[in-house]
Structure 1
Amino acid sequence: MEENVTGSNKQRDELNEKLRSNKPTYGVTLYGGSCAGVEIAANWGLDFAFIDAEHTPVNIDSHMEKLVLAARVGGIAPLVRVRGTNEWDIRKTLEIGAAGVIIPQVGSAAEARQIVRAAKFPPLGRRGGDGSVRSAGFAGPGFQWSSYMESENNNTLVIPMAESYEFFDNIDEILDVEGIDVINFGPADYSISRRISIDYSMSNPEVNDKLDELIEKCHARGIKVMAPCIPPDKDSAQRLAKKGVDMIIMGNDIMFLNQGFRAVRAALDG
């Protein structure tokens, strides 16, 4: 009987295959808490769904499980942004079947180690284990603890966010923490921390320079980089890919709703 070591996380494996081949990947952020939004993103062939639980009422509970399942059934890798470095949020997110976990407001190597401790099994971390979860295939046919833990360590994406001046003050120490797979750059919160103008397009020279620094230092360590693409058009996406951004976030569901209703308002006013 074929050994079940990953809980059939096909979307995660496909995303990792592209990242390891140094191909740019594309996704969208989802704030609305709607399974339909996740499924629509999957229908249009995006690589990952960035499901938010930091700025929304969504928690790491049965509601989040539905969103993760919608992604997996639809064929898009679910990445969940949790509320912080809480060990239980990180572990439960991965156990319900997320391809990776995104952690906001990381500013020190100690916080990075705390994240890896929660997300990775020994020897990288101290993640608690239970076979009766989706990530373990519910201990089904062919389940083996050793293979399961090795697969989770190798394939689950741990994604701290670089979104403050504190992160960049401590960037080398943070990136040297073993077990980090991707860094997500947050230009808005970085700008807020520096009290400079907020611009997701990263036209501010300081913000643009920080992204360049992040890409250079991450790639030197084999770590991938995620960043938002605003406006989410062809030229902006190509610019980020040329810079070396590996995971490009092509806008979000609230933005798309606003664009649609703006068009409706313009039609009515016209």
Structure 2
Amino acid sequence: MPAPHNPFKAALAAKQPQIGCWMSFGETIAAELMSTTGFDWLVVDGEHGPNDLRSITDQVRALEPTNSHAVVRVPIGEDWVLKQVLDAGAQTVLVPMIDTGAQAAAIVRACRYAPDGVRGMGGYGSRVTQFAAISDYATTANAEICVLVQAETRTAIENLDDILAVEGVDGVFVGPADLSADMGFPGQPEAPEMQAIIKDAITRIAAARKAPGILTFSIEAAKTYLDLGATFVAVGIDTVILATAARALSKDAKALIS
């Protein structure tokens, strides 16, 4: 039996836009709730969300039988971190702070079994192989792992062509918040100077036949990025969605007694 098909990777390769959302609660019940909302992909955030390997595993498990694909953002692009989340069942990883082609190539190697990479073979006894039930996992997994890297610094933009030249990188996510800060516009990704850089990066990524990705809180901006060729676009964060709705409801309700 081969490794499970990765529909998200296939959609990106076919240039079929995928609309997603960030998940920052770090709770399985929240992931289950988000899986009912219709998003094509959901980020299990191990970089800024309060997650560890167990909570990541639980959320991946919750999303597996649904139509919302789990994209696991690891806290750092270390071989051992990637090995653990892949063995836990992640098929798609999002790796922050990739600045060079060499770093991107190292991430690809960490996600592939030998002879194409350095991923450890211990997954035979873990849930990714259904505890050894998927007999051909080791020989078929490389083709189904989706590797997404984040370009979110001035250096990454300067080296974008080198990153895009790396075989095995399926997509490049432009991180607007960190990129804006590094470019001297902290908290201002909507600044005209930043929008010019972001739009140019998306265009270059698409031209290189890689999948461009981004997070925005604006539907109008999402349409702009999709029109430029962005393939995986996130349009919100679960914690912010709840907080915004709850604050508005509280304000409206209190207005009844003011």
Fold conserved (TM > 0.5)?
Answer: yes
**Residue 74 of structure 1: aligned partner:** 66
1:123 deviates by 4.2
Q: 1:163 aligns with which of 152, 157, 160?
A: 152
Match of 1:115 among 107, 110, 128: 107
User: Is 1:227 the equivalent of 2:214?
Assistant: yes
Equivalence for 1:92: 84
How far, CA to CA, are the matches of 1:75 and 1:45 in structure 2? 8
Residue in 1 that maps onto 2:131: 138
Per-residue Cα deviation, 1:13-72 (whole angstroms, up to 9, x for no partner): 22233223211101110011122222222212211110111113312x222111110111
RMSD (CA atoms): 1.9
CA distance in 1, matches of 2:9, 2:159: 27
Offset at residue 243 of structure 1 (A)? 1.3
- 117-126 or 188-197, larger mean C-alpha shift: 117-126
Q: 1:154 aligns with which of 143, 150, 158?
A: 143
- CA offset digits 1:99-152 (Å, max 9, x no partner): 2111111112232122112112234322111322233332216x12xxx34532
**In structure 2, what residue type is equivalent to 1:28?**
C
CA distance in 2, matches of 1:157, 1:240: 21
Q: Is 2:175 the counterpart of 1:186?
A: yes
**Is 1:172–2:161 an aligned residue pair?**
yes
Q: Does 1:243 align with 2:225?
A: no
Give the deviation of 1:237 after TM superposition. 3.0
What is residue 203 of structure 2 aligned with on the other side? Answer: 216
Matched-pair contact (CA < 8 Å) for 1:29–1:49 = yes
Q: How far did 1:192 drift?
A: 0.8
Give the match for residue 57 of structure 1.
50
Aligned to 1:33: 26
Superposition deviation, residue 5 in structure 1: 1.3
Q: In the alignment, residue 243 of structure 2 is paired with which amino acid?
A: N
- Ranges in structure 2 where 5+ consecutive residues have no aligned partner: none
Task: Give yes or no for contact 2:206–2:230 (8 Å, CA) kept in 1.
Answer: no
Specify which of 246, 251, 254 is matched with residue 261 of structure 1. 246
Percent identical across equivalent pairs?
25
Q: Which residue of 2 aligns with 1:20?
A: 13
Does residue 252 (structure 1) correspond to residue 218 (structure 2)? The answer is: no
Question: Which whole-Å CA distance do the structure 2 matches of 1:211 and 1:120 have between them?
Answer: 30
Q: Describe the SS at the equivalent of 1:78.
A: strand
Separation in 2 of the partners of 1:222 and 1:136?
31
Between the aligned partners of 1:172 and 1:125, the Cα distance in structure 2 is: 22
